[in-house]
Amino acid sequence: MAQRMEIEQHGVSAMPEHRRTARPVTVMWVLVGSNLSLSATVFGWLPVTYGLSWWQIVAAATAGTALGLLLAAPLALLGFRAGTSNTVAAGAHFGVRGRLVGSLIGLLLSLGYTAVAIWTGGEAVVVVLARVSGTAPGEAARAAAYAGIAVLVAALAVGGFGLISRISAVLVGPMALVLGAGVVAYAPGFDPSWSAPGGPDGAPAWILALVTAGISGPVAYATIIGDYTRYLSPRRHSAAGVVWSSAAGLFGGLLAPTLFGAFVAISTRAEGSYLESVARAAPAWYLPLLLFAGVAGCLGAAGVPLYNMGLELHGLFPRTSRTAGAAAAAAITLGLVFLGRSTVGVEQAVTGFVVVLTVVATPWAVIALIGHVRCGRVYDVRDLQVHNKSLSGGRYWYAGGWNLRACAAWLAGAAAGLLDADSPLYTGPLVALTGGLDVGYLLSALVSACVYLLLGTGHVAGEPIPDWRQTYLWPAVTR
């Protein structure tokens, strides 16, 4: 059954059965349509600035995306089983208050990716119009373009799941044509052996590309994907179907624009300003398509993480509605775009936030996945909502609402990973000991898993959990 076009009022409270009418293919199209955008192509440009050639980037992006999927795709089952967002569902493992750790991570991830999408969309509008008019891009024009894109994206996020899923599905065809036409437009300048001078050498550059152009994409959805799988009914759909549709959507949706971005960056020799180089080298017939990609393409790319920010703010502050949270998040993100552009370079800012947040999000995802398996893949929906209803107690209360074992495991993993993280803005002290290779994400995953299993998950052994076939029907209070 198709979702009705209406402003969604539902927050992170348990999703009732009559609203769980989406299909796994709906989630797949959301993931594909929201990533076929200019903002996603930026992550293909980044490895070019590191000095990698075409086939090196293809290998890094493909391998990294596949590795990230091993962690992110199974996490689609948290929202599917618990009928709520992934961060609220993770309260079963971190505690109903400890799950705020995931909410903060989700907020930061979504904030960063929304900012990149708004910047990309606004910048595309400015550089294309500047080329057509023959004038230099002005700061006033940039401010107006960023603000206009932010308003459009905020409207989409406030509309909610139904509007986002419709827009994402509609955008798949046109954006696929835009990217396909772009291959034709920029093919004359493509040289697979070309690489930009400077940047890290050899293995360090490839490892950095593995993270920024590959692993970071799926991991960014670890806290987000449950926002959409909570609309799938376990009575009508299998867990395998949910995982495979999520994996297919993430793999195709993330890899295609990343490789397109690398292709265009190499064709235009975009070592510095990515979008200005793209607009300058584009044939005249492609400029309208580039403008369309800048405006329409960023809607899903920014709308999906902004929608998540609204939900996370509602989870952090239950008395605040999801719609108010989405609007506030749009204003905060717009301010971040202006601040980031005026203080640090785009390449440095994007690379830095991707590396650091991937390291911080990975141990959370590892613990949530282990906990999901250890709890038998079932959740007590009533007890998950204790914090949202300003109550206390329940099977996920642990110690004052915090599972200190899970939180300690996350802290240990994040700290270990940050010590071995390497980016233009931050280099951990252990990077020199690992031969200059940034393996912080692997270290964070390994340390968090070991500590969590050694300390014990904290779940009450032998205590039966109510079957999800009854608990997920619990009436939800909408906000």
What is the structure's pLDDT at 478? 35
114, pLDDT greater than 70: yes
On whether residue 416 sits in a domain, the answer given is no
- Amino acid sitting at position 417: G
What is the structure's pLDDT at 456? 81
Helix axes 297-316, 38-49, angle to 10 degrees: 100
On whether residue 26 sits in a domain, the answer given is yes
On whether residue 439 sits in a domain, the answer given is no
Lowest-pLDDT choice from 17-31, 89-103, 258-272, 422-436: 422-436
> What 3-state class would DSSP assign to 4?
coil
What is the structure's pLDDT at 230? 93
On whether residue 437 sits in a domain, the answer given is no
340, pLDDT greater than 80: no
- The domain of 177 spans 17-354
What is the structure's pLDDT at 290? 92
On whether residue 175 sits in a domain, the answer given is yes
What is the structure's pLDDT at 346? 57
What is the structure's pLDDT at 297? 83
On whether residue 438 sits in a domain, the answer given is no
**CB 448, CB 367: distance < 8 Å:** yes
pLDDT in tens, 46-78: 899 888 999 999 999 999 999 999 999 999 999
Torsion of CA 131, 135, 137, 139, to 10 degrees: -150
Structure tokens that stand for 259 in this block: 């490789």
Torsion of CA 14, 27, 319, 368, to 10 degrees: 70
4, pLDDT greater than 60: no
Task: Indicate the pLDDT class of residue 30, thresholds 50, 70 and 90.
Answer: very high
315, pLDDT greater than 90: no
283, pLDDT greater than 80: yes
| Mean of per-residue pLDDT scores for the chain | 84
82, pLDDT greater than 50: yes
468, pLDDT greater than 60: no
Lowest-pLDDT choice from 26-30, 140-144, 326-330: 326-330
What is the structure's pLDDT at 245? 96
Instruction: Tell me how far apart the 2 most distant CA atoms of the chain are, in Å.
Output: 72
Query: Cα separations (Å) of 254 from 28, 62, 165?
Result: 12, 10, 17
Angle at 242 between CA 241 and CA 244, to 5 degrees: 65
Alpha helices in 134-238 (DSSP H): 139-159, 161-186, 202-210, 216-220, 226-229
| Residue position matching structure tokens 């990230």 | 68
Lowest-pLDDT choice from 291-295, 332-336, 446-450: 332-336
The half-sphere exposure of 387 on its side-chain side, counting CA atoms within 13 A, is 27
What is the structure's pLDDT at 221? 93
CATH of the domain at 215: 1.10.4160.10
345, pLDDT greater than 70: no
Structurally, the chain folds into a number of domains equal to 1
> What 3-state class would DSSP assign to 219?
helix
pTM for the whole structure = 0.87
What is the structure's pLDDT at 375? 83
**CB 88, CB 97: distance < 8 Å:** no
332, pLDDT greater than 50: yes
**CB 302, CB 120: distance < 8 Å:** no
Between 94 and 471, the more confident residue is 94
Q: Over range 321-328, report the average pLDDT.
A: 76
Residues 6+ apart with CB under 8 A from 373: none
Structure tokens that stand for 315 in this block: 């989870």
Angle at 397 between CA 393 and CA 402, to 5 degrees: 140
Task: Indicate the pLDDT class of residue 472, thresholds 50, 70 and 90.
Answer: very low
Among residues of the chain, what percentage have pLDDT more than 70?
Answer: 87
What is the structure's pLDDT at 347? 57
Between 383 and 409, the more confident residue is 409
2, pLDDT greater than 90: no
Highest mean pLDDT (candidates 19-23, 165-169, 362-366): 362-366
Lowest-pLDDT choice from 30-44, 194-208, 435-449: 194-208
What is the structure's pLDDT at 190? 95
On whether residue 395 sits in a domain, the answer given is no
Residues 6+ apart with CB under 8 A from 334: 118, 146, 147, 150
What b-and-e string marks burial along 102-135, b requiring 16 or more CB atoms within 10 Å of the CB? bbebbbbbbbbbbbbbbbbbbbbbbbbbbbeeee
On whether residue 334 sits in a domain, the answer given is yes
Among residues of the chain, what percentage have pLDDT more than 90?
Answer: 39
469, pLDDT greater than 50: no
215: which DSSP letter? I
Bridge-partner residues for 232, per DSSP?
22
5, pLDDT greater than 70: no
376, pLDDT greater than 60: yes
Highest mean pLDDT (candidates 34-48, 317-331, 432-446): 34-48
Closest CA to 261 of 37, 55, 33: 37
Task: Indicate the pLDDT class of residue 109, thresholds 50, 70 and 90.
Answer: confident
What is the structure's pLDDT at 410? 96
